Amino acid sequence: MEMLTQAPKGTKDVLPDESYKWHYVEGKIREIARLFGYKEVRTPTFEHTELFERGVGDTTDVVQKEMYTFTDKGGRSITLKPEGTAGVVRAYIEGRLYAQPQPIKMYYITPVFRYERPQAGRLREHHQFGVEVFGAPEASVDAEIISLAVTLFDRLNIKNLELNINSIGCPSCRPRYHQVLKEYLSGQLDQLCSNCKQRFDRNPLRILDCKEERCRQVVASVPVILDFLCDECKAHFDGLKRYLDAAGIPYKVNPMIVRGLDYYTKTVFEFISRDIGAQGTVCGGGRYDGLVGLCGGPETPGAGFGMGIERLLLVMENQGVEIPPPPKLDVMFITVGDEARFQAFKLVRDLRLKGISADMDHVGRSIKAQFKYADKLNIPRVCIMGEDELKNGCVKVRDMASGREEPVPMNEIVAYLERLRRLD
């Protein structure tokens, strides 16, 4: 097909008949973010490549093979955001937000880019709603962001999401577990898939959520990280569970979820749907206490999540969730002849200035065609202006549902329609 007339692979247009769904979801997001005390942050669509290499971690798949990276005309290496957190961390440091009253609670809605093969629920450009909290180490924050996500799902009438939580420890206890894990696996190295053999040295944790059947068997009876957490991490995880219990949020402790980004410490979690195909993660996040420091800011605890808006919409569609349709045009002017169109143009303008949405024919169609058009657009009322009406200085207002028509003097039409709209 033509390059010219086809969106790049893995990208999607949101056409006018769909955009109201996005407005609806984004509206709920902003409403709930406000309810929880989060303010919006907007960061650039691209950042210096180094930020992601450092922040996300250069052993991750995201950095190793999925980034949209290019050299700009000044010779800088630039990368389109492959996730939302790193840019916000950078902005927190650059904007000296650590000098403001802590914690800082922010949210964003942003495009995210990853070079992957598209499939159901996966695009090269998608959009994420994310939240980040800086300067608060307590487990109550981890519980709060999970609660925020749950509240949003409820408000959107999304059902059957499964919340999985886990703790992957901190720099003081995770190395111990790595050792235990490697000792356990070293005897069965030859049974692992080739991918996992490489992970063994680089990031043994990731072997835990390999989908290969033989790896799963090896890993089935592996020691669990939760048994090796240091006292602080253990207390933190217990705290998280207590807060979730208190909020009445059901969850499953799943020691096999580890997440693909290097910056996580302690809490990690995922919301998973079975209704949208193989890529079921709708929301993923956790705690990242070392990230701000790693990126050159003061040591600052942090926690957050990213939520895929396309996947959100997919779940809603597959679950048959009704989204309120956008408001229709209030009134359409149907004109016969040039003079009528001229007069209608002025009236339409007056109506719009008064907050009544109005439109008129711009293509010189027959009166019948104009009616059909208004009917197809489901417009509740039309105003008819032809020679007779011009002669009498009035317009005929027709209610499309009932078919009733009423003549109204031209200079009263604005007030008349305002009155009608108050009644609707």
Q: Which residues bind RNA (CB under 7 A)?
A: 1, 6-10, 60-62, 66, 83, 112, 114, 116-123, 126, 128, 195, 206, 209-212, 259-261, 270, 277-284, 306-308, 310-311, 336, 365-369, 371-376, 384-389, 396, 398, 400-401, 403, 405
The token duo for 109 is: 């809605």
The nearer residue to RNA, 104 or 196, going by C-beta atoms, is 196
The nearer residue to RNA, 5 or 101, going by C-beta atoms, is 5
Between CA 284 and CA 275 the distance in angstroms is: 17
Nearest distance, CB of residue 114 and RNA, angstroms: 5
Q: Please, what is the Cα angle at 69 between 65 and 75, to 5 degrees?
A: 140
The nearer residue to RNA, 154 or 299, going by C-beta atoms, is 154
The nearer residue to RNA, 102 or 357, going by C-beta atoms, is 357
Nearest distance, CB of residue 53 and RNA, angstroms: 15
Contacts 24+ apart (CB under 8 A), 205-214: 205/168, 205/174, 205/178, 205/181, 205/258, 206/258, 206/260, 207/181, 208/255, 208/256, 208/258, 209/256, 209/257, 209/258
Nearest distance, CB of residue 48 and RNA, angstroms: 20
| Residues 163 and 252: beta-carbon distance below 8 Å | yes
Nearest distance, CB of residue 349 and RNA, angstroms: 21
The token duo for 350 is: 């007056």
The token duo for 352 is: 């719009």
The nearer residue to RNA, 105 or 126, going by C-beta atoms, is 126
Nearest distance, CB of residue 12 and RNA, angstroms: 7
Nearest distance, CB of residue 100 and RNA, angstroms: 27
The token duo for 151 is: 């509240």
The token duo for 194 is: 């080739």
The token duo for 39 is: 């303010």
The nearer residue to RNA, 138 or 209, going by C-beta atoms, is 209
